[in-house]
Amino acid sequence: MQLYGEYDVVVVGGGTSGVAAAIASARAGANTLLIERVGVLGGQMNYSGPPGFSYAHFFNLLGEQIIGGIMQETHTRLLNEGHALPHIRPEFRGSYTFSYVDPDWWGLMIFEMMTENGVNLLLHSLAVDVLKEGDAVKGIIVENTSGRQVILGKVVIDCTGEGDICVRAGAPYNKLPREELQPHTLSFTADGVDWDKALNYIKENPDEFSFERFLNNPFLKWTKEQLIERIKNIKDITEMGEIMGYYSLRDAAMAKGEWHEFSGVGFFLIPREGGVIQAHFQHSSQVPNCDPTDVRDLTYGEIECRRQIVIAWKFIRKYMPGFENAYITRVCPELRIRESGRVVGDYILTTKDVLESRKFKDVIGKSAFPAGGHHIATTDTLTSGQGEGGYPRDGGSHDIPYRCLVTKNVENLLVAGKAISTDRDAYHRFLQQTMVTGQAAGVAAALCAKKGITPRQLEKDVSELQKILVKQGAILYGTH
Amino acid sequence: MELFGIYDVVVVGGGTEGVSAAIASARAGASTLLIERLGALGGQMNVQGPPGFAYAHMFNPRGEQVIAGIVEETHNRLLKDGHALPHLKPQWRAGYTFSYVDPDWWGLLMFEMMQENHVNLLLHSLAVDVVKEGNTVRGVIVENTSGRQLVMGKVFIDCTGEGDLSVMAGVPYEKRALEQLMRPSIAFTVDGVDWDVVLKYIKDNPKEFEFRTHPYLKMSDEEMWKQIKAIKKIEEIGNIPDGWFSITEKGVKNGEMHEFGTIGCFLTPREGGVIQAHFQHSAHVPNCDGTDVRDLTYGEVESRRQAVMAWKFIKKSIPGFEKAYITRVTPELRVRETRRIMCDYKMTEEDIAAARKFKDVIGKDEYQAGGQHMKHSTMLDPKAIYAKDGGSTDIPYRCMVPLNVEGMLVAGKPICTDESTIKRFIVSTMVTGQAAGVAAAVCAKKGVTPRQLEKDVSEVQDILQKQGAILYGTH
């Protein structure tokens, strides 16, 4: 086996958490390696996605901006180059604000940022094992076209999304049984939509869409009539942000076997150069009973989702007003994994923390996303998010504490992205959350490498970490 | 280590040759497993591509169809569903025929065909080693989210594109020196092209493009341009090769365009008659060996730098592209050339020149020897050697039977050829894939090795013909 190299910080996984971690680590002065399984960086944004909310949720219900850092920096950069839409903040949507970027240009920009920041890359490489000395991770073993190699690092960040490195290193990990996991999805993008016609149908048939859920926002003191009136005044599809519904069309088609039973009908938007808006379907296939850490399930999921999207697309073109001449321009190559397990860290972020907009001394970022509200593989698409979940009660946002990124039982290891330590309803799987925790983990790892301490030892005093994050544009203080 | 399963035929690599091999093997009655590194099937067609000629070259310069089988079957099927263009056979281009398919729908179709033919799939799995008993390959070891597993089989087909499995098994190979390897590309597809403006510029500026006629045709440039000027719809042109020379030259001189590729595009048909432009010659990474992970990583970075520069230049400077927009950037490099695996027969440029026929024919190919990507994308090897009489060359079965090991076949671009005869085009990879699939199934059924089968390939040929392959009756 060959020694590939020795680094201060080794980031495993080049998805949204990994790219943020690598940039932040390199900026904080660490010699950084980013390892990615495929040839492209970006994961759920531009490879297996984007998810609908990309970007989104920069603001809380009160309208305060709670996410900055690499998210805001990249949004601004793409906006300046004509590859993004400005922050879209319809008042009736509460914290469902949208800050759409062109995923393909986002991917190209991320490569530019790796070069600009001097991040070392190792692409086309699958991490298959960890090297440990006692409880401490010392390196990662990868397989690729050149064979098997070992990479040594002072601190390793698990950005695999599924906590693969943590599990292989022996960190505790919670995963729901297969049948309770959220379904995964394969998305596709379509062009050639007649937006005037599509928008007209939506405005003329508001009851066919899921607008009433906006009234769940306790800070929006509107009647249903006011909401409908506002929707009827929408001039441009981008004000809509996203659409979910077409109930009658869907149910009629389902009765004829022209829609499948695994998801509802709806779409998000993708901005392209020169003001073109494409429709992005990422709820039109959902595969249940699929554990992404089991390769047989993962294989089955890839097959099943493609079966569903072919049915879905035929429906869309045949029945959805405005989509008669639309055409698919891109099918994602791989499933976007909504849920696997969560690593157990030194703190487990709880649903109560979210509901109470809890602030922590070791804050490394914020989130305003409601707790609960998971996907289910039925035409409802989502569970209601009621019960334990819901919005932060004061309309604010909660802090994400550093300790959620520090795995129990294992040293020299941080976790970022959707596998960080939370309870199930506080699951931090959303793109903006993964980039916030990625950026924080990158800075923390760089600091640990510089000081010669472990991520757990850093818990005693995170002030330098916070100072660097703030300098990198992150928002840590001053919001509800 | 877990045993994942035991199969008659195990196909490693789900690119264009791998999907063909798996379908053909399953149809020939073998229990078949197809292993793929990613979550998508299709490789250079829909993940790293498509390459420009996808599909293309199904006819020789005489107009005889030389490629059918799974290529023709899938083209037909997509055409009926509105996801392909009919065979385009511009007279002035002779052998350069085009049979474009929508790569995204092709990818969806592949998954459907796997189900229809009961191919077992193992996706998201990287093959990392082989298990041998003496000289015989008995298993392949994969790594994936579930860990490390062993897959056992009677016959293995190396469809990795780079001959990875063959090398793991100890088969000798050839590879040109780093600086001579054809360069890998990132491709991108754009919409919103004003094709009328593009076509008008081409017609008004014949000196700005290099449309080559096939030497078999002996057509004058004047006659060729007369035909080009009669074109009404962009798809009649087939593709727009290397062109816009003056604009590009100026762009390179003033630093707006890089020097590693050229401007030229292929067509991607979408539902409802939409034609997108597909640029896959505008980023070319030199000195990049796709079997070295450091090179491969560098190539992904460098080709994106080039693609961004090229696109900004195209949008700014090429008439008709002012309002165009990128709708898709390929996620990975398309690797044009690495290893050629040494087998019981090596196809040579002499075979091509003679349009040679072989007793153990398993498919045909009309593409010339040479004609490879050099410094600039379409600056082709000057020593292109064409099949005589506008004909085509047989591909013999023995090109797929690797030296020194038993229980294994190789299909796709690493099959055994000399360096100028490399069979890297999509249609060739699907032809050899289909043949390897049938051969493997026959071996598994008869309990013979692929090498033992060389003595009598008549059953393979019978099955291939039943599957629609063209083996006989053409020049």
The SS3 assignment for B374 reads: coil
Yes or no: say if B369 and B420 are a contact pair by the CB < 8 Å rule. yes
Enter the tokens of residue A299.
């294989």
Residues 278-297 of B with CB under 8 A from A: 290-294, 296-297
Q: Is the pLDDT of residue B308 over 60?
A: yes
The DSSP secondary structure of B250-265, one letter per residue, reads HHHHTTSS-SS----B
Residues 6+ apart with CB under 8 A from A108: B304, B307, B308, B329
Of the candidates A362, A347, A202, the residue with the CA atom closest to the CA atom of residue A267 = A202
CB pair distance less than 8 Å for A146 and B292: yes
Q: How far apart are CA A438 and CA A74, in angstroms?
A: 14
**CB < 8 Å from A in window 331-350 of B:** 331-333
All residues of chain A having their beta carbon less than 8 Å from the beta carbon of residue B292 are 145-146
| B114 touches A at CB < 8 Å | yes
Asked if B146 has any chain A CB less than 8 Å from its own CB, the reply is yes
User: What does the DSSP assignment read for A210-279?
Assistant: GGGGGGG-TT----HHHHHHHHHT--SHHHH--EEE-HHHHHHHHHTT-S-SS--EEEEEEEEGGGEEEE
Judge whether A344 and A174 are in contact, CB under 8 Å: yes
**Is the separation of the CB atoms in A34 and A118 below 8 Å?**
no
- d(C-alpha B23, C-alpha B444), whole Å: 15
Confidence grade of residue B96 (pLDDT, cut at 50, 70, 90): confident
Question: Could B126 and A333 be called an inter-chain contact, meaning their C-beta atoms sit closer than 8 Å?
Answer: no
Provide the pLDDT confidence category of residue A431 given band limits of 50, 70 and 90. Answer: very high
Binned at pLDDT 50, 70 and 90, residue A349 comes out as very high
Query: Is the pLDDT reported for residue A259 higher than 50?
Result: yes
Tens of pLDDT, residues A170-207: 999 999 999 999 999 999 999 999 999 999 999 999 99
Give, in order, the Cα–Cα distances in Å from B189 to each of A255, B104, B281.
Answer: 38, 12, 12
Question: Encoding tokens for residue A263?
Answer: 């998801």
Measure the CA–CA gap between B217 and B383, rounded to whole angstroms.
18
Interchain proximity B305–A164, CB inside 8 Å: no
Q: Is the Cβ pair B126, A143 closer than 8 Å?
A: yes
Q: How many residue pairs from chains A and B have C-beta atoms closer than 8 A?
A: 182
Looking at every residue in chain B, the average pLDDT score rounds to 95
Contact A272 B326 (CB under 8 A): yes
Torsion angle (degrees, nearest 10) of CA B174, B179, B181, B186: 150
| Four-CA torsion A200, A203, A205, A206, nearest 10 degrees | 160
Residue A216 is predicted with a pLDDT of 83
Nearest Cα to A96, choosing from A295, A382, A400? A382
Check CB contact under 8 Å for A143 and B128. yes
pLDDT at A144: 98
- Mean pLDDT check: name the lowest of A80-84, B242-246, B296-300, B442-446: B242-246
The pLDDT-based confidence of B241 (bands split at 50, 70, 90) is confident
Question: Which chain A residues are Cβ-neighbours of B123 within 8 angstroms?
Answer: 295, 298-299, 302
- Chain A residues closer than 8 Å to B331 by CB: 38-40, 46-47, 333
CB A70, CB A158: distance < 8 Å: no
Residue whose pair of structure tokens reads 């001579």 in the numeric block: B180
Shortest distance between the Cα of A3 and any Cα of chain B, in A, equals: 13
Spatial CA neighbour of A14 closest among A35, A39, A45, A44:
A35
- Answer whether A221 touches B (CB < 8 Å): no
Cβ neighbour number for residue B130 with a 10 Å cutoff:
23
Measured between CA atoms, how close is B75 to chain A, in angstroms?
18
- pLDDT for B450 equals 98
ipTM: 0.96
Mutate to test the interface with A, among B297, B322, B332 (most CBs of A within 10 A): B297
Q: What is the DSSP string of B117-158?
A: TT-EEE-S-EEEEEEEETTEEEEEEEEETTEEEEEEEEEEEE
Residue in chain A closest to B290 (alpha carbons) equals A145
Average pLDDT estimate for A384-393: 70
Whether the predicted pLDDT of B52 surpasses 90: no
Q: Name the CA radius of gyration of chain A, rounded.
A: 22
pLDDT at B53: 78
Q: Is A49 a residue whose pLDDT tops 70?
A: yes
C-alpha distance from A360 to closest chain B C-alpha (Å): 34
Round to whole Å and give the CA distance between A101 and A446: 29
**Residues 29-58 of chain A whose Cβ lies under 8 A from any Cβ of chain B:** 38-40, 46-48
Q: Read out DSSP for A42-59?
A: -TTTTTS---SSTTB--B
Residue B211 has a pLDDT of 84
Contacts of A13 in chain B (CB under 8 A): none
Q: Is B64 exposed, middle or buried (0-12, 13-18, 19+ CB in 10 A)?
A: middle
Q: Which two tokens stand for residue B251?
A: 């762009």
Nearest C-alpha of chain B: how many angstroms from A12? 14
Mutate to test the interface with B, among A327, A335, A339, A340 (most CBs of B within 10 A): A327
Q: How far apart are CA B71 and CA B430, in angstroms?
A: 7
What is the sign of the dihedral through the CA atoms of A229, A232, A238 and A241? Answer: positive
Give which of B467, B456, B436 is closest to B359, Cα–Cα.
B456
Please name the residue of chain A whose CA is at the shortest distance from the CA of residue B81.
A314
Q: Work out the average pLDDT over A408-416.
A: 98
In a mutagenesis test of the A interface, which of B1, B124, B312 is the best target, namely the one with the most A β-carbons within 10 Å?
Answer: B124
Give one DSSP letter per residue of A421-445, joined into a string: SB-GGG---SHHHHHHHHHHHHHHH
3-state secondary structure of B235: helix
Is-contact A110 A14, C-beta < 8 A?
A: no
Encode pLDDT of A115-137 as tens digits.
Answer: 999 999 999 999 999 999 999 99
Mean pLDDT of B341-364: 97
Note whether A128 contacts B143, CB cutoff 8 Å: yes
| Beta pairing partners, A332 | none
> What is the end-to-end Cα distance of chain A in Å, rounded?
52
Q: Per-residue pLDDT for B458 more than 60?
A: yes
Strands A173-175 and A147-158: unpaired
Interchain proximity A309–B108, CB inside 8 Å: yes
> Residue B377: pLDDT above 50?
no
Of B316, B364, B272, B224, which is closest to residue B85 (Cα–Cα)?
B272
Torsion over CA of B392, B393, B395 and B396, rounded to 10 degrees?
140
- Chain A residues within 8 A of B145 when measuring between CB atoms: 162, 164, 292-295, 298
- What pLDDT score was predicted for residue A400? 98
| Contact (CB<8Å) A310/B112 | yes
Measure CB to CB from residue B146 to each of A146, A148, A295 and give the nearest one.
Answer: A295
On the CB side of B387, how many CA atoms lie within 13 Å of its CA?
25
Taking an 8 Å cut-off on Cβ atoms, the answer to whether A104 and B326 are in contact is yes
Q: Chain B: residue nearest A112 by CA?
A: B305
> Shortest CA distance to A345 belongs to which of A415, A430, A271?
A415
The pLDDT tens digits for B23-34 are 999 999 999 999
Phi, psi of A321 (to 5 degrees): -60, 130
